[in-house]
């Protein structure tokens, strides 16, 4: 009974994680421009990976593997948004701007204090 | 406003744990997937990430090029030296039984650890040396300089 319950929870988590990942992949393919594609890739990936890892944790039970999965989750939780930030930052610095929609003004970046990027920061 | 603040903070968080993970892969290589090659690349990634975010000068202050170049040779020396030691002990070249004649399985264990250490040192050195070689190349010539 308990085994069935645990397996059920694990499968629900893993399948919903897969759903988020697949939706993110479709978003990368179908969205029109760079910024919305980046949004689809980053947000859904974070959610999908965390749900997948949580499902695997529930499935394996408590043990060394669970600790390793939690550490993997922490690393992905930190590095995923950071890499998204780096990509978005590079696009903004190199001049790519979100398109202006009807009645919406595209985001204007605040000017950098030093417009040329310092090649050797501190 | 300092540029790349988030990358700096996250890099400071990550570099230590990347090095720790490299040592885990290095010394767990005979129990689980991993070993010298993977650990060397992971260790080099820590230094390369540091160099990318903080600049080549900082990375070379931590890990000077002459150390890197010595490491490339040192790893091969450790690998070959393990074989020579087993030769001197009266066994074949790289015959790990020589290191614990009464417990051959322990001998295999020690021998693999020593050899993997050599591989890890060399791979770390080569990867960081390749990064230094590309990152430290002079700026491209402009048209007036021809």
Task: Identify from B2, B32, B136 which residue to disrupt to test chain A contact, counting A C-beta atoms within 10 A and taking the largest count.
Answer: B2
What is the predicted ipTM?
A: 0.70
B74: three-class secondary structure by DSSP: helix
Higher pLDDT, B77 or A116: B77
Nearest to B10 among A78, A114, A117 (CB): A78
pLDDT digits (tens, 9 = 90+) for B33-57: 778 899 999 999 999 999 999 888 8
Give the mean model confidence (pLDDT) for residues B104-132.
90
pTM (predicted TM-score): 0.78
Q: Looking at residue B146, what is its pLDDT?
A: 58
pLDDT digits (tens, 9 = 90+) for A102-117: 666 655 655 555 555 5
Per DSSP, A102 falls in state: T
Q: Looking at residue B107, what is its pLDDT?
A: 85
Could you give the CA distance from residue B63 to residue B70 in angstroms, rounded to a whole number? 11
Of the candidate ranges A4-8, A109-113, B69-73, B110-114, the one whose mean pLDDT is the lowest: A109-113
Task: Identify from A74, A119, A121, A122 which residue to disrupt to test chain B contact, counting B C-beta atoms within 10 A and taking the largest count.
Answer: A121
Could you give the CA distance from residue A21 to residue A117 in angstroms, rounded to a whole number? 35
Nearest to A118 among B3, B56, B57 (CB): B3
Of the candidate ranges A79-83, A94-98, B40-44, the one whose mean pLDDT is the lowest: A94-98
For the record, the structure tokens of B23 come out as 């040592």
- Rounded percentage of chain B residues whose pLDDT exceeds 90: 49
Residue extents of the structural domains in chain A:
2-93
User: What does the H/E/C string look like for chain B?
Assistant: CCCCHHHHHHHHHHHHHHHHHHHHHHHCCCCCCCCHHHHHHHHHHHHHHHHHHHCHHHHHHHCCHHHHHHHHHHHHHHHHHHHHHHHHCCCCCCCHHHHCCCCHHHHHHHHHHHHHHHHHHHHHHHHHHHHHHHHCCCCCCCHHHC
Nearest to B3 among A79, A85, A112 (CB): A112
Q: Looking at residue A103, what is its pLDDT?
A: 64
Those residues of chain B whose CB sits closer than 8 Å to some CB in chain A are 1-4, 6-7, 10, 13-14, 17, 54-57
Q: Which residues contact A6 (CB under 8 A, 6 or more apart)?
A: A58, A59, A61
Q: Looking at residue B35, what is its pLDDT?
A: 82
Other residues' Cβ atoms within 10 Å of the Cβ of residue A103: 5
């Amino acid at each position: 009974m308990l085994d069935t319950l645990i397996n059920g929870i694990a499968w629900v988590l893993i399948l919903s994680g897969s759903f988020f990942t697949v939706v993110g992949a479709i978003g990368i393919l179908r969205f029109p421009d760079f910024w919305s594609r980046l949004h689809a890739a980053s947000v859904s990936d974070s959610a999908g990976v965390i749900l997948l890892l949580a499902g695997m944790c529930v499935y394996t039970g408590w043990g060394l593997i669970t600790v390793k999965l939690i550490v993997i989750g922490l690393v992905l939780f930190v590095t995923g948004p950071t890499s998204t930030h780096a990509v978005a930052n590079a696009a903004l610095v190199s001049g790519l701007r979100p398109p202006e929609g009807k009645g919406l003004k595209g985001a204007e970046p605040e000017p950098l204090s030093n417009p040329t990027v310092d090649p050797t920061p501190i | 406003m300092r540029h790349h603040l988030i990358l700096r903070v996250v890099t400071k968080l990550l570099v230590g744990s990347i090095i720790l993970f490299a040592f885990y892969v290095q010394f767990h290589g005979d129990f689980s997937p991993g070993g010298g090659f993977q650990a060397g690349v992971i260790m080099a990634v820590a230094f390369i990430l540091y160099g990318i975010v903080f600049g080549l000068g900082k990375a070379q202050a931590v890990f000077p090029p002459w150390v890197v170049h010595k490491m490339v040779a040192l790893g091969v020396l450790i690998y070959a030296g393990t074989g020579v030691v087993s030769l001197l002990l009266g066994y074949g070249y790289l015959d790990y039984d020589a290191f614990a004649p009464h417990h051959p399985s322990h001998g295999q264990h020690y021998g693999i650890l020593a050899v993997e250490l050599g591989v890890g040192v060399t791979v770390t050195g080569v990867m960081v040396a390749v990064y230094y070689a590309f990152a430290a190349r002079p700026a491209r010539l402009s048209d007036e300089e021809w």
